Structure 1
Amino acid sequence: MFVYSALVLWNFLIEEFSTKVLAVFVAVLLSVRFLQMVREASALPPGPWGLPILGSLPFLKGDLHLHFRDLTHKYGSLISTRLGSQLIVVLSDYKMIRDAFRKEEFTGRPTTEFTALLDGYGVINTAGKLWKDQRRFLHDGLRHFGMSYIGSRKTQMEGRIMREVEEFLSVLTSKKDNPIDLNPILAVSLSNVICDILMSVRFSHNDERFKRFMFLIDEGFKLFSSLEASFFIPILKYMPGQRETRGKIAKNREEMGQFLQETIEEHRKSFDSSHLRDLLDTYLYEIQKANEEGTGHHLFEGKDHDRQMQQIMGDLFSAGMETIKSSLQWAVLFMLHHPEVMKAVQEEMDQVVGRRRLPKLEDLPYLPVTESTMLEVLRISSIVPMGTTHAPTRDLKLNGFYLPRHAQIVPLLHSVHMDPNLWNEPENRSTSCRSGSAGGCV
Structure 2
Amino acid sequence: MELGGALTIFLGICVSCLLLISAWKRMHKEGKLPPGPTPLPFIGNLLQMKTSEPFKSFLALRDKYGPVFTIYLGPRRVVVLCGHETVKEALVDQAEEFSGRGELASIDRNFNGFGVAFANGERWRQLRRFSLTTLRNFGMGKRSIEERIQEEAQYLLEEFRKTNGLPFDPTFFLSRTVSNVISSVVFGSRFDYEDKTFLALLRMINASFFEMSTPWAQEKENPSSEFNIKNLVLTTLNLFFAGTETVSSTLRYGIVFLMKHPEVEEKVHQEIDQVIGHNRIPATEDRMNMPYTDAVIHEIQRLTDIVPLGVPHTVIRDTQFRGYLLPKGTNVFPLLGSVLRDPKYFSNPEKFNPGHFLDEKGRFKKNDAFVPFSSGKRICLGEAMARMELFLYFTTILQSFSLKSLVPAKDIDISPKLSGFGNIPPVYELCLVPR
TM-score (norm 2): 0.73
Q: What is aligned with 1:110?
A: 102
- Higher Cα Rg, which structure: 1
Structure 1 pair 136–99 and aligned structure 2 pair: CA distance change class (3 A)? farther
CA shift for structure 1 position 430: 4.2
Task: Tell me the distance in 2 between the aligned counterparts of 1:52 and 1:28.
Answer: 11
SS at match of 1:433: helix
Write the distance in 2 (CA, Å) between the matches of 1:31 and 1:181: 54
Match of 1:90 in 2: 80
- 1:44 is matched by which residue type in structure 2? L
Map Cα deviations across residues 364-421 of structure 1 (whole Å, 9 max, x no partner).
1110010011111111110111221111112222101121223210110111111111
For the pair 1:75 / 2:65, whether they are aligned, the reply is yes
Separation of aligned partners in 1, 2:235 and 2:18: 49
Identity percentage of aligned residues:
31
Aligned length: 352
**What is the Cα deviation at residue 217 of structure 1?**
2.2
Match of 2:53 among 63, 70, 81: 63
* Cα distance, 1:201 vs structure 2: 2.6
Distance 2:14 2:165 in 1: 79
Q: Which residue of the other structure, out of 263, 271, 295, is the alignment partner of 1:348?
A: 271
Q: Answer yes or no: is 1:139 the counterpart of 2:132.
A: yes
* C-alpha deviation, 1:72, in angstroms: 1.4
Cα contact 1:91–1:97 (8 A) shared by 2: yes
Residues 112 and 424 from structure 1, CA distance in 2 versus in 1: closer, same or farther, beyond 3 angstroms? closer
Shift of 1:363: 1.1
Cα 1:435–1:408, aligned 2, differ >3 Å: closer, same or farther?
Answer: farther
Shifted more, 29-38 versus 110-119: the winner is: 29-38
The alpha-carbon distance between structure 1 residues 184 and 26, as it changes in their structure 2 partners (threshold 3 A), is closer
Q: Of the two structures, which has the highest relative contact order with CA contacts closer than 8 Å and spacing of 6 or more?
A: 2
Give the residue type in structure 1 aligned to 2:39.
Answer: G
Stretch deviating more after TM superposition (394-403 or 45-54): 45-54
Q: In 2, distance between residues paired with 1:181 and 1:439? A: 35
Gap change, CA 1:99 and 1:227, over 3 Å in 2: closer
The answer on whether the counterparts of 1:109 and 1:125 sit within 8 Å (CA) in structure 2 is yes
Distance 1:366 1:49, change over 3 A: same
Q: Return closer, same or farther for 1:169/1:308 CA change in 2, 3 Å cut-off.
A: same
1:213 aligns with 2:201: yes
The answer (yes or no) to whether the contact 2:36–2:70 under 8 Å persists in 1 is yes
Q: Is the 8 A contact 2:209 2:245 kept in 1?
A: no
* Cα distance, 1:318–1:27 mapped onto 2, change above 3 Å: closer
Q: Deviations over 1:151-204 (max 9, x none)?
A: xxx221111111111111111112122112211111111111101011113111
Displacement after TM superposition at 1:111 (Å): 5.3
Amino acid at match of 2:269: Q
Q: Does 1:179 align with 2:171?
A: no
**Residue 59 of structure 1: CA displacement?**
2.2
Which region of structure 1 is more displaced relative to structure 2, 115-124 or 318-327? 115-124
Name the structure 2 match of 1:411: 334
2:304 alignment counterpart? 381
Which residue in the other structure is 2:419 paired with? none
Contact 1:424 1:431 in 2 (8 A): no
- Distance in 1, matches of 2:232 and 2:126, equals 14
Deviation at 1:434, TM superposition (A): 2.4
Distance, in Å, in 1 between the alignment partners of 2:212 and 2:84 is: 29
Query: Which residue number in structure 2 is paired with residue 162 of structure 1?
Result: 150
Greater share of helix: 1
Task: Give the match's secondary structure for 2:100.
Answer: coil
Q: Could you tell me how far 1:315 is from its partner in structure 2?
A: 0.6
5+ long unaligned stretches in structure 1: 1-15, 149-153, 235-299
How many Å apart are 1:110 and its aligned residue?
3.4
What is the rounded CA distance, in whole Å, between the counterparts of 2:364 and 2:169 in structure 1? 26
Is 2:291 aligned against 1:368?
Answer: yes
Q: Which amino acid aligns with 1:160?
A: R
How far apart, CA to CA, are the structure 1 residues paired with 2:197 and 2:18?
61
Letter in 1 for 2:102: P
The alpha carbon displacement at 1:313 in A equals 1.2
CA deviation vs aligned residue, 1:30-51 (integer Å, no higher than 9, x gap)? 768756756758x211221233
State the alpha-carbon separation in 1 of the partners of residues 18 and 44 from structure 2.
24
**Which of the pair is proportionally richer in strand?**
2
- Relative to structure 1, the CA distance from residue 82 to residue 174 in structure 2 (aligned partners, 3 Å threshold; closer, same or farther) is same
Task: Select which of 208, 214, 229 maps to 2:217.
Answer: 229
1:229 partner SS: coil
Structure 2: gaps of 5 or more residues: 1-6, 366-413, 415-435
Aligned to 2:345: 422
Offset of residue 27 of structure 1: 7.1
Give the 3-state SS of the residue equivalent to 1:410 in structure 2.
strand
301 and 354 in structure 1: CA distance in 2 versus 1, 3 angstrom threshold: same
Q: Identify the residue that residue 226 of structure 2 maps to in structure 1.
A: 302
**Conservation of the 8 A alpha-carbon contact between 2:20 and 2:41:** no
Q: Is the 8 A contact 1:327 1:381 kept in 2?
A: yes
* Amino acid in structure 2 at the alignment position of 1:123: V
The amino acid across from 1:135 in the alignment is R
For 2:200 and 2:16, the matched residues in 1 are separated by 55
* Shift, 1:301, TM fit: 5.7
Shift of 1:229: 2.2
Using the alignment, how far apart are the partners of 2:110 and 2:280 within structure 1? Answer: 47
- Alpha-carbon deviation of 1:326? 0.8
2:117 alignment counterpart: 124
In the superposition, the TM-score normalised over structure 1's length comes to: 0.72
- Seen in structure 2, the aligned counterparts of structure 1 residues 347 and 44 have a Cα distance that, compared at 3 Å, is same
